[in-house]
């Protein structure tokens, strides 16, 4: 197991390297960070543009830039992923991309973690209920809800939920729901408890919407895997032994039926990254999703590359954890 | 069958087209069976009917309806639904019904183009990887792995937002297709890996068929079932992606319109001007829902084993 873990960990290195090359080419080839500056009216002096090009290392060739971005060798110390520097920003010489990413990471992680946990719990619950009561009214209802969730544009639902919150606040005259931002605008003088409830309150509506992405994929999957297990011989044996239904379902069936879910759980992380961009835009959170959209709008190439590497690493890690977890949960899988 | 005859008649090149009668009837029988199973799938048939109606609405509608998706000075701005404008009008003076038709049209055009392009490319990619195995397979599928590391919306938004001079519908379709063929490639590779070991492939090879011919004429047609299902589901993915892109402002640009852009324009109107907010969202849900049900019906029709959890 240890050998396998180490081997898988080492295996992520070439994957990360390839991802970095893809990221770099994707961003670098798709646009010019100084395009806006060059067409500005009145025209910007040529010296200013040249100075910017030099500051952003745009005066170097493509392969040079990639090596520079990755290692920072030959740069001014503000670039080089391996040194923990993300590169200069078009927003100005004082803007630190790494700092901006770090500042926003917590906000986004809070939202993603809450949504994923909630989605997982709900998906397992409804998947099991659907399977146990196969072809009943509740199964059909839950199946339809699953299909609906799969077809729902997250951002539309988000906008609807947000406006509903605003409407409810107006109708009652109280702030029942927080609809804007990750925290209140002014949290000075808050006690720890107040700060906690404030964060929690702001989480409610965005989490409910973001949850849908994971729920849609997982609930169907959980139903199928639970059905397969329920129809297997060992469950029939457990029933034949006269075990109570509750024990059969919980101890025998559910434990096995959870294993396949670990593999799709990782795949859904990528979907949730997509979802978080849309949800943060709708609810005006100043998180990583918002940073991504802003970076595109400003053609901030190095910020975009840093962002892509961060999300890529998250997806690779999620897949790695799923693989390892699979081995732990399913004793039939042996890593020699 | 035909390839087996090739070596006996040395004059005809092995790539000569097969006599058409025998294999064709077999193919027709298969097709009829699949069709019969699909027609019995009530949900899928209903969805197909609704989808065809939506396509008619999007493509024939603009020819019949008085207003298109652009601003008209004769239109009273900001009006709730009325007989003249059944879906109301916008602040700027658009007829919402005209916008809906055009928006649905653009959305469907993008989604179908993505599905065709990504499926064609992904199928060939996956088939080549699965057929040759070894290092070719390793390199090709690692490429797929790396592409899958970047979340879809992130990739298409990053490129779409960087493209200068506005993104038209086919640019949007190209960008989405560029990143969404990977799922198809994986599906096809899996099928081809098992197909390539079967006798008919060996027979074709013994008859002197080239690799290209084996892949295109023997392997890919036999992988059609899973590919058709995956391609159908890809349409729904593409619709949601296009809508998300346009919503963020990196997809189809004004003065053109798409369903995602309509939602973006009406973001805060759910309770104040509901006629702007609900129709585009409901149309996206409707199209994706029908596509998913059609895909489900196709899966049941093409591969009955997959859904047969003992009843």
The predicted-structure confidence for A170-205, as pLDDT tens digits, reads as follows 888 887 788 787 777 777 777 888 888 888 888 888
Question: Which residues lie below 8 Å from residue B35, measured CB to CB, with a gap of 6+?
Answer: B301
| A312 vs B contacts (CB less than 8 Å) | 149-150
- What pLDDT is attached to residue B125? 93
Mean pLDDT across B1-21: 42
CA–CA distances in Å: residue A94 to residues A78, A91, A99, A302:
11, 8, 11, 14
The whole-angstrom distance between residue A190's C-alpha and the CA centroid of its chain comes to 30
Q: B279: domain range?
A: 28-302
CA–CA distances in Å: residue A37 to residues A47, A52, A58, A240, B162:
12, 10, 14, 76, 14
Question: Which residues lie below 8 Å from residue A76, measured CB to CB, with a gap of 6+?
Answer: none
Q: Where residue B10 falls among pLDDT bands split at 50, 70, 90?
A: very low
Domain harbouring B194, CATH code: 1.10.3720.10
Cβ B289–A311 below 8 Å, yes or no?
no
Express each pLDDT in B195-248 by its tens digit.
888 888 889 888 988 888 988 888 888 888 888 888 888 998 899 999 998 888
Facing residue for A316 by CB, picked from B149, B271, B310 = B149
CA pair distance B89, B67, nearest whole angstrom: 11
Cβ A153–B244 below 8 Å, yes or no?
yes
Chain A, chain B: beta-carbon pairs less than 8 Å apart: 138
In a domain, B169, yes or no: yes
In a domain, B14, yes or no: no
Express each pLDDT in B94-106 by its tens digit.
778 888 888 899 9
CA pair distance B147, B182, nearest whole angstrom: 8
Place of tokens 């906000």: A107
Measure B109 CA to nearest chain A CA, in Å. Answer: 18
In a domain, B75, yes or no: yes
Express each pLDDT in B124-166 by its tens digit.
999 999 888 888 888 898 888 888 888 888 888 888 777 655 5
Express each pLDDT in A46-78 by its tens digit.
788 887 777 878 878 888 888 888 887 777 777
- What pLDDT is attached to residue B310? 39
In a domain, B85, yes or no: yes
Mean pLDDT of chain B: 80
Q: What are the E-state strand segments in B53-184?
A: none
Express each pLDDT in A257-295 by its tens digit.
888 888 777 778 888 888 899 999 888 888 898 999 888
CA pair distance B84, B91, nearest whole angstrom: 16
| B142 vs A contacts (CB less than 8 Å) | 15, 18
Q: Does the pLDDT value for residue A317 go beyond 70? A: yes
In a domain, B7, yes or no: no
Q: Which two tokens stand for residue A14?
A: 């070439």
Find the largest Cα–Cα distance for chain A: 86
Q: What angle do CA A195, A198, A199 make, to 5 degrees?
A: 90
Q: Where residue B305 falls among pLDDT bands split at 50, 70, 90?
A: low
3-state helix, strand, coil in chain A (%, to 5): 75, 0, 25
Q: What are the E-state strand segments in B235-275?
A: none
In a domain, B233, yes or no: yes
Q: How many domains does chain B have?
A: 1
Mean pLDDT across A93-111: 87
| A22 vs B contacts (CB less than 8 Å) | 146-147, 149-150
Express each pLDDT in A207-228 by its tens digit.
999 988 888 888 888 888 898 8
Q: Please tell me which residue, A298 or B48, carries the higher pLDDT value.
A: B48
Specify which residues B167 forms β-bridges with. Answer: B252
Given a contact cutoff of 8 angstroms between Cβ atoms, the answer to whether A153 and B285 are in contact is yes
CA pair distance A121, A110, nearest whole angstrom: 17
Residues 120-149 of A with CB under 8 A from B: 135, 147-148
Place of tokens 């993505």: B114
> H-helix or E-strand containing A124?
helix A97-132
Residue A99 near chain B (CB below 8 Å): no
ipTM: 0.86
| B289 vs A contacts (CB less than 8 Å) | 147-148, 151
In a domain, B19, yes or no: no
In a domain, B163, yes or no: yes
Place of tokens 């509740």: A138
Given a contact cutoff of 8 angstroms between Cβ atoms, the answer to whether A288 and A310 are in contact is yes
pTM: 0.85
Cβ A308–B154 below 8 Å, yes or no?
yes
């Amino acid at each position: 197991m240890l050998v396998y873990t180490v081997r898988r960990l080492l295996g992520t290195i070439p994957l990360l390297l390839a991802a970095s090359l893809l990221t770099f080419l994707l961003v670098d080839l798709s646009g010019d960070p100084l395009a806006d500056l060059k067409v500005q009216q009145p025209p910007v002096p040529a010296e200013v543009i040249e100075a910017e090009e030099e500051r952003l290392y745009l005066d170097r060739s493509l392969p040079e830039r990639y090596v520079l971005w990755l290692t920072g060798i030959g740069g001014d110390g503000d670039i080089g992923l391996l040194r923990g520097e993300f590169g200069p920003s078009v927003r100005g010489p004082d803007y630190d991309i790494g700092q901006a990413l770090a500042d926003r990471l917590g906000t986004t992680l809070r939202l993603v973690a809450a949504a994923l946990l909630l989605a997982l719990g709900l998906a397992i619950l409804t998947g099991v209920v659907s399977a146990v009561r196969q072809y009943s009214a509740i199964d059909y209802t839950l199946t339809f809800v699953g299909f609906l969730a799969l077809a729902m544009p997250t951002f539309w639902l988000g906008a609807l939920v947000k406006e509903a919150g605003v409407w409810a606040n107006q109708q009652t005259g109280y702030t029942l729901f927080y609809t804007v931002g990750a925290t209140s605008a002014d949290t000075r003088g808050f006690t720890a408890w107040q700060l906690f409830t404030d964060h929690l309150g702001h989480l409610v509506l965005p989490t409910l919407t973001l949850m849908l992405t994971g729920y849609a994929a997982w609930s169907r999957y959980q139903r199928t895997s639970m059905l397969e297990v329920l129809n297997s011989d060992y469950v029939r044996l457990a029933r034949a032994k006269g075990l109570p239904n509750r024990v059969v379902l919980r101890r025998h069936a559910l434990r096995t039926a959870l294993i396949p879910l670990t593999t799709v759980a990782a795949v859904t992380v990528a979907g949730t990254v997509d979802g978080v961009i849309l949800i943060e835009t709708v609810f005006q959170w100043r998180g990583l999703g918002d940073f991504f959209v802003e970076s595109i709008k400003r053609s901030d190439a190095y910020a975009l590359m840093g962002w892509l590497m961060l999300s890529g690493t998250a997806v690779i890690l999620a897949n790695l954890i799923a693989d390892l977890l699979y081995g732990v949960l399913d004793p039939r899988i042996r890593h020699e | 069958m035909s390839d087996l005859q090739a070596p006996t008649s040395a004059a005809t090149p092995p790539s000569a087209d097969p006599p058409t009668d025998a294999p064709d009837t077999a193919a027709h029988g298969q097709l009829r069976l699949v069709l019969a199973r699909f027609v019995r799938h009530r949900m899928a048939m209903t969805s197909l009917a609704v989808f065809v109606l939506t396509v008619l609405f999007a493509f024939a509608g603009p020819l019949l309806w008085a207003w298109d998706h652009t601003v008209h000075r004769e239109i009273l701005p900001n009006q709730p639904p009325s007989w003249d404008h059944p879906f109301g009008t916008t602040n700027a003076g658009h007829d919402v019904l005209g916008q809906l038709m055009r928006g649905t049209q653009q959305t469907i055009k993008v989604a179908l183009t993505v599905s065709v392009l990504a499926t064609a490319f992904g199928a060939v990619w996956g088939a080549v990887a699965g057929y040759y195995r070894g290092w070719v397979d390793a390199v090709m599928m690692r490429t797929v792995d790396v592409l899958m590391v970047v979340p879809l919306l992130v990739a298409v938004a990053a490129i779409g937002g960087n493209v200068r001079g506005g993104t038209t519908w086919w640019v949007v379709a190209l960008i989405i297709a560029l990143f969404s063929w990977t799922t198809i490639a994986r599906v096809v590779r899996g099928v081809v890996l098992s197909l390539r070991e079967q006798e008919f492939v060996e027979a074709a090879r013994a008859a002197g068929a080239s690799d290209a011919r084996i892949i295109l004429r023997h392997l890919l047609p036999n992988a059609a079932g899973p590919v058709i299902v995956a391609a159908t589901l890809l349409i729904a993915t593409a619709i949601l992606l296009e809508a998300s892109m346009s919503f963020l402002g990196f997809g189809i640009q004004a003065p053109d319109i798409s369903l995602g852009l309509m939602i973006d324009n009406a973001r805060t109107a759910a309770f104040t001007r509901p006629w702007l907010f609900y129709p585009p969202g409901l149309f996206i849900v409707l199209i994706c829902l029908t596509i998913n049900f059609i895909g489900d019906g196709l899966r049941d029709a093409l591969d009955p084993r997959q859904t047969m959890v003992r009843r």
